[in-house]
Structure 1
Amino acid sequence: MTLVVPYDGSALAEAAIDRAEQFRSSVDEEIVVVTVIPNNESYARERGWLQDDEAFTLNAVVSTLRERTVASRDGVSFRYVTVGRYAATGTIASRIRTEIQRVGAEVVFIGSDNAGRVVTSIASVGSKVAAEDAYDIFIVRRPSEAA
């Protein structure tokens, strides 16, 4: 069984990784963190994926995300997919679902403050990923205590 965590750098995405690690302690499975990276400097800066003086490059963003997600965690791997500068939310959710299927996930941990309220909400990538029935969903709506 593979556990997947879609990751955008938010406190809830961090909490989702923490919850996946807690869950994994009872099933001893791999955790795969998946991020969709738009070719959009503003998007990356708004999410804190770059330092203020850092140039926008894919390598810089991937390095930051990898450091935040897997550097101090055993059994956690990082995957990313790139999309165009103006990718719609539906595109991002679709790419996440594709990666979830590609790794054969059985459980997905989504950090979202609105994915659990109404799964069909049009505003949330998390809700679109949660609408899939090919895997179980664990929705994290509270940040980790340390966050």
Structure 2
Amino acid sequence: MSLIVPFDNSPLAKAALVRARQFDQILEEGVIVVSVIPAQNAEYARERGWIGEDEPFDGEQIVATLREAVEAVAPDAEFEYITVDRFAPHGVIGNKIRKFARNNGATIVFLGSQNAGRIVRSTSVGASVVTDRSYDTMVVSGAQLPEIPKLEEKLPVKELLETD
């Protein structure tokens, strides 16, 4: 069994990763982070801050950047990535995450991507992920996590969410 975190390096994704780490302190299932990267889609990568305005798409560099961001927050988490077609719609991305979660024995998916606030919309990646009944879904709706004392006792999060 595992705790899965879809990760795009947004503040909400980082908050979801922190929350998953806290839960893992109690559940001891392991955290697996997955990033979905549309191949050669520089616009998508720029929108997420994976590459600079004038930088070309470099898949290896994007993976390295995402991996480093995960390690900074959750050094013990396993990091994986999935590449999809350049213009894959949100439904494809969401379905890839859902399949990944099922294939990796997810008990909880911690969803905190930029679309988490619009999770009820049919165009949201989150809408595809939350429909699977083989795991629970925790939606992290704010980059500043509300304090849950028992979780804070196991793993305080303040320094993990500080930004540069």
TM-score under structure 2 length normalisation: 0.80
- State how 1:28-107 maps to structure 2 within 5 Å: 28-39=28-39, 40-52=41-53, 54-71=55-72, 73-107=74-108
Residues 37-76 of structure 1: CA distance to partner in whole angstroms, max 9, x if unpaired?
0010111111011244543221011001101112452320
Contact 1:20/1:31 (8 A) holds in 2: yes
Q: How many pairs are equivalent?
A: 143
Distance (Å, rounded) in 2 between the aligned partners of 1:37 and 1:72? 20
Once the two structures are TM-superposed, the CA of residue 29 in structure 1 deviates from its matched residue by: 2.1
Are residue 113 (structure 1) and residue 108 (structure 2) matched? no
Paired residue secondary structure (2:118) = coil
Distance (Å, rounded) in 2 between the aligned partners of 1:109 and 1:21? 10
Normalized per residue, the structure richer in strand is: 1
- State how 1:128-139 maps to structure 2 within 5 Å: 128-139=128-139
| Percentage of pairs with the same residue | 42
Residues 19-46 of structure 1: CA distance to partner in whole angstroms, max 9, x if unpaired?
1011111112210111110010111111
One-letter identity of the residue aligned with 2:97: I
Once the two structures are TM-superposed, the CA of residue 123 in structure 1 deviates from its matched residue by: 2.3
Distance (Å, rounded) in 1 between the aligned partners of 2:144 and 2:32? 19
Distance (Å, rounded) in 1 between the aligned partners of 2:46 and 2:118? 23
Contact 1:36/1:81 (8 A) holds in 2: yes
Once the two structures are TM-superposed, the CA of residue 77 in structure 1 deviates from its matched residue by: 1.1
CA RMSD, 1 decimal: 1.6
Distance (Å, rounded) in 1 between the aligned partners of 2:29 and 2:75? 11
Contact 2:38/2:83 (8 A) holds in 1: yes
Residue 140 of structure 2 aligns with which residue? 140
Residue 12 of structure 2 aligns with which residue? 12
Contact 1:4/1:107 (8 A) holds in 2: yes
TM-score under structure 1 length normalisation: 0.89
Paired residue secondary structure (1:85) = coil
Contact 1:50/1:64 (8 A) holds in 2: no
Flag structure 1 segments of 5+ consecutive residues without an equivalent: none
Contact 2:4/2:34 (8 A) holds in 1: yes
Contact 1:3/1:108 (8 A) holds in 2: yes
